[in-house]
Amino acid sequence: MEATALCSRLLTCVIILLGAHIQKSSLQNYDAALLIVTERLQLFEYEPFSFLCEGLGSALRGLRNNNELIQGCYNIASSTLNCSIQQAYDSDSGVYWCEDEKGEKSNSVNITVTAGSVILESPVLPVMEGESVTLSCRNKTTTSSILSADFYKDGRLIRTSSTGIITIEKCSKSDEGLYKCSIPDGGESPESRFAVLRSGVLLNEDMRSFLHASVLLWTAIIIFMLVLALLLLGVHHIKHRDSSKTPTADSPCPAEDNQYACEEDQSDVTYALVATKPRHHRDAADNPSLSIETNHSRNPQTEAESGFKNSPSAEDPLYAPVMKDSFGKLRVAPSD
């Protein structure tokens, strides 16, 4: 039982430690999250744009390209940072992300600022497999809804639309790639990457470490449960074996493997010295009375040991085996 209690305590400690490790890992990986408010990866020059850094940590900051600190950032909450650029220039193009005071990074997005007149509006974040996605080709100089545009994927023309909008139904991994659009006599947009996630795949790569830690947790639980079960079976087997070797009062030799031990106990015969003494006031022909002096030995005493040798008043001694019955009482063994 002590071993069982020890295994239970060890199992509890392992679960607590692994749970704390998973919680700490998940918090570290998601201290900051980058959200694009404009919901566009491509911008016209001189357009404003902003993004939010949201996380569980504090002292968040916005960065881009070669760890360049964005100046137009301010806190709107204890764990939310807002970064804004009032007029975007071509030099503002690049990769944007957030960091906390510990150096933990958020996911990143690639923002493109163009001086041209055509941009492609596409999803900012990867989409799940099976969803429908809309791509729009936008002209800076016109707001007309009737706009013929060609759409390209990885440099190949895939579709032409008279409205400047196409929809990818039930997108799959094969739809991933670099997309752009062009408008006749209007120009061509920059390229933007379109990503598709398989069903059940999480957005952030850091979540894979979280899942890995979860697998380790359940693996450790299963291993410890198996060890605990084997230990309990071993204890039960030992107890059952010990109880089967213990004879009862009604059956001194219940098991076959105890036969030799039982025979050894039964062979432990106590011999008694039976001496005849003449009765007083009785005829010599009467039967003599028997007095028993026990000698706890397997072999009868010799004449020298018994003290009757050369005794003028003692007759030749008689020896009889005395055995213990099942209740522990002495009895004279029957003669053959």
Residue type, 7: C
Question: Which span out of 11-15, 98-102, 115-119 was modeled with the highest average pLDDT?
Answer: 115-119
36/52 Cα distance (integer angstroms): 7
Q: Does residue 18 lie within any of the structural domains?
A: no
Q: Does residue 314 lie within any of the structural domains?
A: yes
pLDDT at 312: 47
Q: Does residue 259 lie within any of the structural domains?
A: no
Give the count of beta carbons closer than 10 Å to the beta carbon of residue 164. 23
pLDDT digit string, tens, across residues 158-216: 999 999 999 999 999 999 999 999 998 889 999 999 999 887 555 455 556 656 666 77
Q: Does residue 245 lie within any of the structural domains?
A: no
Q: Does residue 240 lie within any of the structural domains?
A: no
4/12 Cα distance (integer angstroms): 12
pLDDT at 176: 94
End-of-domain residue from the set 188, 203, 218? 203
Instruction: Pinpoint the alpha helices (H) of the chain.
Output: 2-29, 207-244, 259-266, 303-306
End-of-domain residue from the set 155, 170, 203? 203
Helices 207-244 and 2-29, axial angle in degrees (round to 10)? 180
pLDDT at 89: 92
pLDDT at 297: 46
136/122 Cα distance (integer angstroms): 7
pLDDT digit string, tens, across residues 30-48: 445 555 556 789 999 999 9
Kindly state the tokens that stand for 26. 């998940």
pLDDT at 132: 92
Q: Does residue 102 lie within any of the structural domains?
A: no
Q: Does residue 152 lie within any of the structural domains?
A: yes
Kindly state the tokens that stand for 330. 């002495």
pLDDT digit string, tens, across residues 47-99: 998 888 877 666 788 888 878 888 888 888 777 888 888 899 999 999 988 88
End-of-domain residue from the set 203, 224, 246? 203
pLDDT at 152 exceeding the cut of 60: yes
108/328 Cα distance (integer angstroms): 90
pLDDT at 272: 54
Considering its fold, how many domains does the chain have in total? 2
Q: Exposure of 53 by Cβ count < 10 A (0-12 exposed, 13-18 middle, 19+ buried)?
A: buried
pLDDT at 70: 85
pLDDT at 255 exceeding the cut of 90: no
Per-residue DSSP letters for 90-138? GGG-EEEEEE-TT--B---EEEEEESSSEEEE--SS-EETT--EEEEEE
Could you list the residue range(s) of the whole structural domain that residue 143 is in? 117-203
pLDDT at 4: 57
Q: Does residue 128 lie within any of the structural domains?
A: yes
Q: What is the CATH number of the domain that holds 189?
A: 2.60.40.10
